[in-house]
Structure formats: structure tokens, C-alpha cells
């Protein structure tokens, strides 16, 4: 099947791009090469790993060595390249959006094919797209970007929902996949370009340096 093959290549491309975002996080914290490989690995395969554990299938990278090779080679290559050359930041942001879209679609598809219901398939799709980046950020000591900024998980959510919705409308699967990927990417790129953000909590008061309880004190009514 032709689209399946393209999706496979896009999956590898997504793995490369996510590994690079891991590498860049490692660089911000001045980690060494091995630390960078660990972060890149977690970023690239973390989401899919959690997805496979939760839907109860063999973890994808244990069935195909290629993913590990891709991450390790990408990281080593870019680790040294990043010292010499300026990385194409805008291209990377664009490719990161593509990676998010592809991972989301693959994750959603995988769960749906196993017969999980729509909300579960959407959960696993979003998980595949965002969890790797979340662990990356936690490991380098930052509040996950996914939670803080711009439309990221939201784009993933819309893409996953669209894929399933189009499927229920009996649209041909290939077309639905392409559309879901394009919409996810478009939404993400649009959010980056116009710095669109979701509504944020209105802050009534400066949060304290260290909160006392999970049930924080409330703003005066």
C-alpha cells in the first residue's frame, strides 16, 4: 500500500526531528553526548512507548531496531554539526509540526484498529504526539512546553479527532490520514506564526514561591 509506506517514512522523519529537539534541549543544559542521546531517545520514542504499553501491544521499537539506530545516529551527527553550523530553526519548527502530526495520526490509527473507542484512540494519539516532548522537558528541569505555550497538544487533539470523524463519515482512509496530518500541521504552524494561545488562567495574585498544598488558596471572590 502506497500511503502506508509514505507514513512509514514520515514516521522515521518524525523520529529524526523529535531526536533533534531532544538534542537541542540537551544543548541548552550543556549535557554531554551520552546525556544528549538519552534525551533524544526519550523524546523520539517516549510517546509511542507509553502508547504501546497502555494499549497492550509489543513496544514498537523492540520490534524494529531501526528506530534506535535513527536516534543514535541523528544525535551524534547533529551533536557535532551543531558546533559548526547554524541549525535551520524555522525548518525544524516546521518539521516538528510534521512530526507531531504524523505521530498523532499513527497513534490514533493504531488504537482505533485494535478496536478501542474514539476517546481512547484520541488519548493514545495525543499521547504519541506529546509525551516524548513532555518527558524531555521534565528531564531538563523545565515545565513541559506542551503545557505552557501555543497550540501544541490542541493541534494533536484536533488531528486525532478529525481522523476518527472522517473515518465515521466513511471517507477513504488514505484521504482521511492526509487531511488529518495537514490540519494538525496547519494548526500548529498557524499558532507559531501568529503566536496564538489558548485562554490562560487569569492570575488574581502572585503565586507563592512554594505552594503549601495541592489545594491552593483561592482568589477572593
User: What is the C-alpha to C-alpha distance for residues 88 and 35, in angstroms, rounded to an integer?
Assistant: 23
| Residue nearer to a second copy on the CB measure, 2 or 205 | 205
- In angstroms, what is the minimal distance from the CB of 142 to a second copy? 7
- In angstroms, what is the minimal distance from the CB of 202 to a second copy? 6
- In angstroms, what is the minimal distance from the CB of 51 to a second copy? 11
Angle at alpha carbon of residue 75, lines to 72 and 77, rounded to 5°: 105
- In angstroms, what is the minimal distance from the CB of 53 to a second copy? 6
| Residue nearer to a second copy on the CB measure, 22 or 167 | 22
CB 136 within 8 A of CB 152: no
Q: Is 214 helix (H, G, I), strand (E, B) or coil?
A: coil
Instruction: For helices 33-55 and 2-28, give the axis angle rounded to 10 degrees.
Output: 130
| Residue nearer to a second copy on the CB measure, 39 or 106 | 39
CB 113 within 8 A of CB 177: no
User: What is the C-alpha to C-alpha distance for residues 79 and 82, in angstroms, rounded to an integer?
Assistant: 6
| Residue nearer to a second copy on the CB measure, 4 or 198 | 198
Amino acid at each position: 500500500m502506497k500511503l502506508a509506506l509514505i507514513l512509514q517514512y514520515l514516521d522515521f522523519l518524525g523520529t529524526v526531528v523529535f531526536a533533534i529537539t531532544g538534542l537541542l534541549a540537551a544543548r541548552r543544559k550543556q549535557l554531554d553526548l551520552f546525556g544528549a542521546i538519552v534525551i533524544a531517545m526519550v523524546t523520539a520514542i517516549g510517546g509511542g512507548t507509553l502508547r504501546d504499553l497502555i494499549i497492550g501491544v509489543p513496544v514498537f521499537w523492540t520490534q524494529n531496531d531501526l528506530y534506535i539506530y535513527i536516534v543514535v545516529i541523528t544525535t551524534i551527527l547533529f551533536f557535532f554539526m551543531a558546533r559548526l553550523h547554524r541549525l535551520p530553526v524555522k525548518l525544524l519548527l516546521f518539521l516538528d509540526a510534521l512530526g507531531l502530526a504524523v505521530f498523532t495520526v499513527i497513534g490514533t490509527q493504531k488504537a482505533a484498529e485494535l478496536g478501542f473507542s474514539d476517546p481512547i484512540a484520541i488519548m493514545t494519539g495525543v499521547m504519541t504526539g506529546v509525551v516524548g516532548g513532555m518527558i524531555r522537558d521534565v528531564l531538563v528541569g523545565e515545565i513541559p512546553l506542551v503545557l505552557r505555550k501555543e497550540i501544541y497538544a490542541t493541534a494533536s487533539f484536533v488531528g486525532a479527532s478529525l481522523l476518527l470523524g472522517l473515518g465515521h463519515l466513511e471517507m477513504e482512509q488514505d484521504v482521511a490520514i492526509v487531511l488529518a496530518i495537514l490540519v494538525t500541521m496547519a494548526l500548529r504552524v498557524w499558532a507559531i506564526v501568529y503566536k496564538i494561545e489558548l485562554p490562560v488562567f487569569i492570575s488574581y495574585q502572585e503565586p507563592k514561591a512554594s505552594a503549601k498544598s495541592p489545594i491552593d488558596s483561592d482568589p477572593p471572590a
